[in-house]
Amino acid sequence: MPTHHYADVNGQRIHYASEGRGPLIMFVHGFPEFWYAWQGQLAEFGRDHHAVAPDMRGYNLSSKPADVKDYAVPLLVEDLAALADHLGADKFTLVAHDWGGAVAWAFALMKPERLERLVIVNAPHPAIFQRLLAEDPGQQKASQYMLMFRSAEAEGMLTADNFALLRQMVLGEGQPWGWATPEDTRAYLDAWAQPGALTGGLNFYRAARVGPPAPGEPARGIATDLSALTVRVPTLVIWGEKDRALLTANLDGLDKVVTDLTVRRIPEGTHWVAHEKPAEVNGHIRDFLKARPA
């Protein structure tokens, strides 16, 4: 079972769950999850690593700064670097999903010397995602929810009827792919109900202004010089191919912006593949750790 701790780093109080001893492997959640998303990975990799899963700033038991600008990606990168410092790790393996994955891509670009390896689960590389949001009608349609998440109405819509929309979107309540047990549902409801937590998570979208062009808005510019956006850390990308929000087109051209790339597709996985197929996800990570020893 994981133990729970707090670290005062980068001006924030970060809560994290920890299991095992050994080289650091850090698991970073996305929206609207929290450390609990990685329970299956903490148990598995805690057998031979120091497996750590933080609540990102804005979430659950971590600090929740009030200003949207306090959720800029460079600050989120510094949170992870400072937490690794606190844990005594100069270099480590970073595993991340969704918004955690967006921050992990940025970490690999900003601080490649800190990473032994990078593992991404259903989170798009920024250069590819930017191009798709500008040019690809399928991804533009799939990303419309981002505009809602950035709106002033988002909190009201997502909290209505005891978080009914999030229970359906994230936990799969009433859906054939639903993965959550009653215990999982209680844990997520408790995390979402933490004062300020939902706004904190939504502020990731607001700070980055990420999403497709709004009606009447021009598309954001596309990066043409990819050298500054090329990841040079050994990278494993695991992708649930039934993700309705992040389409498999995000894998096209990935080898042009990642110099040492392994891709593992999970045909029956959705955006929540780590919950649905934990043994398969863990197996791919294990294989990658063996193939890319520290």
Q: Catalytic: 6?
A: no
For position 224, what pLDDT does the model report?
A: 63
For position 215, what pLDDT does the model report?
A: 80
Q: Catalytic: 287?
A: no
For position 221, what pLDDT does the model report?
A: 67
Query: What is 3-291's CATH number?
Result: 3.40.50.1820
For position 141, what pLDDT does the model report?
A: 96
Domain spans, the chain:
3-291
Both tokens of residue 153?
């109405």
For position 226, what pLDDT does the model report?
A: 79
Of these residues, 98, 125, 136, 243, which one is catalytic? 98
For position 223, what pLDDT does the model report?
A: 63
For residue 282, with 0-12 CB atoms within 10 Å meaning exposed, 13-18 middle and 19 or more buried, which class applies? middle
User: Which of 100, 141, 148, 93 is closest to 123 using CA atoms?
Assistant: 100
Query: Distance between CA atoms of 104 and 111, rounded to whole angstroms?
Result: 10
Q: Catalytic: 15?
A: no
Contacts of residue 199, Cβ cutoff 8 Å, sequence gap at least 6? 58, 64, 155
Query: Distance between CA atoms of 54 and 33, rounded to whole angstroms?
Result: 11
pLDDT in tens, the chain (294 residues): 999 999 999 999 999 999 999 999 999 999 999 999 999 999 999 999 999 999 999 999 999 999 999 999 999 999 999 999 999 999 999 999 999 999 999 999 999 999 999 999 999 999 999 999 999 999 999 999 999 999 999 999 999 999 999 999 999 998 888 999 999 999 999 999 999 999 999 999 999 999 998 887 776 767 667 788 999 999 999 999 999 999 999 999 999 999 999 999 999 999 999 999 999 999 999 999 999 887
Q: What is the largest CA-CA distance in the chain?
A: 53
Of these residues, 79, 205, 243, 284, which one is catalytic? 205
Three-state secondary structure call for residue 50: strand
